[in-house]
Amino acid sequence: MSTFSDFGPLTERRRAELKQKQRKRMVLAGSSVFVVLIVVIAGVAVLSRQPTHEASKGSGSSGKPSSNNAPSTTQMHAISKSVEVICSPTDYKDMCVKSITKATNTTSSPKDMIRAAVSVIREELGNAFSVSSLLKSNDSRVKQAIEDCNEHYENVKDHLASTLEGIDMHKLDDLPTRSHQFRVWLSAVVSYQETCIDGFPDGDLKTKMEKAMKDGKELSSNALAILAKLSDFLSALNIKIPGINRRLLSEESAHPELDEEGIPSWVSDEDRRILVGKVKGNLKPNVVVAKDGSGAFTSINAALKAIPKDYEGRYVVYVKEGEYDEQVLIPKKMANITMIGDGSQKSIITGNKNFVDGLTTYKTATVAVMGDGFMAIAMGFRNTAGAIKHQAVALRVQSDRSIFLNCRMEGYQDTLYAHSLSQFYRSCVISGTIDFLFGDATAVFQNCIFTVRRPLDNQQNIVTAQGRINPHETTGFVLQKCKIVADKALIPDKAKIKSYLGRPWKEYSHTMIMESEIDDFIHPDGFLPWNGDFALKTLTYREFNNNGPGAATAGRVKWPGYKLVKDKAEATKYTVTNFLHGEPWIRPTGTPVKTGLYM
């Protein structure tokens, strides 16, 4: 299994390049050779442009030029107009103009302004998250929420640092081609802010956290909007963007050597069986976990704890058949872990943590994956708390570019918490009752089975509850070529227990169900409101080319945000290639994947 090079340490070459760029910026700043080129809208002249130091480095504590280098009126006007240009796609324009103007000066280049839009988030969120530490309560759930917020802040700092590092390392004209990944990281920043708030029970403390996060959310929204429109900004500067207008190749012409399962034609039959998930140790493991004592460890946590701290590359953990009753955490520092089982109903990690017993939903996960580049093959993840215990997560995923192949996630309410970042699920079984696929990840589920179980008598079933908070995020759930079926225990009562495809957990909830088979137990409405008319105008719910008795759309909701997609070109926006940008990181692992539409 090949490694995910994106998640390794920076190479020495990259470090050297970054240092060289920084030195050049400092030399330019020290020599006072400041030449500004900014586009001025509506006929204002273009000034000459030259790269300068970054706004956050070498501009002095005040961020203002010296009196000997006082900017001209023309320069001031040009910089003001350029800030207006870069802020034009944002929803909070006044805050955008104010924050970027404060973080830059007349010597700032266009790249400095892009960077400033992200860097201003750091200080604001530092102040916002610190509010949680000041809150006092004897409520155990509040104490956990405070603890969770501290963890979320560490993740926020990591994602902001990755975004800024990415901006620093690439040329200005290369940034648009990198912007999707930047937006994935910043979408996670938004998700962590909201998760911090959600951990608090309704009341004064939650209101305080919402107020504290307000400015940070708005700055994050602005940065997302700017990064989404980088091509327009650079085009206004007459800067050519390499490859941005390149015609996208069809799946077939781009990869003629791949068969219908997305596997290279030259792969041997034995390797082909491995790649479709029939794995029993064919991939050489670094460590074996076995309940019967035949491996190096009898628990998964013990095996993870023993991974060398300086280990580089992909680390394979083979989990032999058995039920492992333990709460497992793959921390952020553990990147590129592959966990292989003997089958999703044989190698099972199980637990019963739940909300009713006093935990935050975030803390109930049997397995939580935070290390980037995680991959699970033929594994089972289970929460046995049952419907009576309400929120009880089997698997929580915060791993960027994570892959789950031939896995099973079993629970009732909130089974799979696809929290944030980019995720791909292939040939998995996900079972539950209420909102059993939820979160704010950018995730595609392909050839998966969603099994709807029997809830409590007074409950309804909802398959998805996607939690996009901001319209500029990359996030959403795509269910492609999946099956949505009723569990055997639900079938006798499917007429009296209503079941729905989804409901809007957050204001800009985003879900596409396409090319999938939907059984007859799904209510004709298809979707359920969250609370009154909340999010009905702002959500984005789409269906395309589904089949089965539950796929009939004549009785679907008439919400402004719902649409039955009939245009193939529009549906193509939700493919692995265009929505997940997953082809470059999924194919090298050998995971079967359909990058386009099936039709």
Q: What pLDDT, in 10s, does the model give residues 505-555?
A: 999 999 999 999 999 999 999 999 999 999 999 999 999 999 999 999 999
Name beta bridge partners: 322.
347
Q: Is the pTM of this model over 0.75?
A: yes
- 174 by Cβ neighbours in 10 Å (0-12 / 13-18 / 19+) ranks as middle
Q: Which two tokens stand for residue 116?
A: 């400033």
Q: Which residue has the tokens 């034609």?
A: 265
Kindly name the residue from 112, 342, 435, 440 that is annotated as catalytic.
435
- pLDDT tens-digit readout, 75-87: 666 778 889 999 9
- Residues 131-167: pLDDT tens digits? 998 998 899 999 999 999 999 999 999 999 999 999 9
**CB burial of residue 30 (10 Å; 0-12, 13-18, 19+):** exposed
- In contact, 405 and 427? CB cutoff 8 Å: yes
How many Cα neighbours within 13 Å face the side chain of 171? 6
Over residues 426-455, the mean pLDDT reads: 98
In terms of phi and psi (left: phi > 0; alpha: psi -120 to 50; beta: otherwise), the region of 9 is: beta
The answer, yes or no, to whether residue 430 has pLDDT greater than 50, is: yes
426/384 Cα distance (integer angstroms): 24
Measure Cα distances from 344 to 56, 330, 339, 443, 450 in Å.
Answer: 50, 19, 12, 20, 15
How far apart, in whole angstroms, are the C-alpha atoms of residue 546 and residue 567? Answer: 13
For the CA atoms of 410, 412, 417, 423, the dihedral, rounded to the nearest 10 degrees, stands at 40
The predicted model gives 400-408 an average pLDDT of 98
% of residues, the chain, pLDDT over 70 = 80
Exactly one of 414, 493, 525, 567 is catalytic; name it.
414
pLDDT at 79: 75
Q: Among this protein's residues, is 112 annotated catalytic? A: no
Beta-carbon contacts of 177 under 8 Å, excluding residues fewer than 6 positions away, are 241, 242, 243, 244
Nearest to 319 by CA among 350, 354, 343: 343
Q: Left, alpha or beta for 504 (phi > 0: left; psi -120 to 50: alpha)?
A: beta
Looking at the domain that runs over 327-589, which CATH code has it been given? 2.160.20.10
Place of tokens 């990755």: 162
Question: Is 158 labeled as catalytic in the residue annotation?
Answer: no
Q: C-alpha 435: how far from its chain's center?
A: 18
What residue type is assigned to position 58 of the chain? Answer: G
* Element of type H or E holding 542: strand 540-544
pLDDT of residue 74: 67
Residue 398, strand partner residues: none
Whole-number pLDDT of residue 282: 52
Average pLDDT along the chain: 85
3-state secondary structure of 237: coil
Most confident region among 8-17, 156-165, 250-259 by mean pLDDT: 156-165
Query: Domain 73-237 - what CATH class?
Result: mainly alpha
Beta-bridge mates of residue 461: 499
Nearest to 376 by CA among 390, 394, 358: 394
Please report, for the chain, the start and end positions of each structural domain, with discontinuous segments joined by +.
Answer: 73-237, 327-589
Q: How far apart are CA 269 and CA 266, in angstroms?
A: 9
pLDDT above 70: residue 44: no
Nearest Cα neighbor of 181 from 442, 540, 404, 439 is: 442
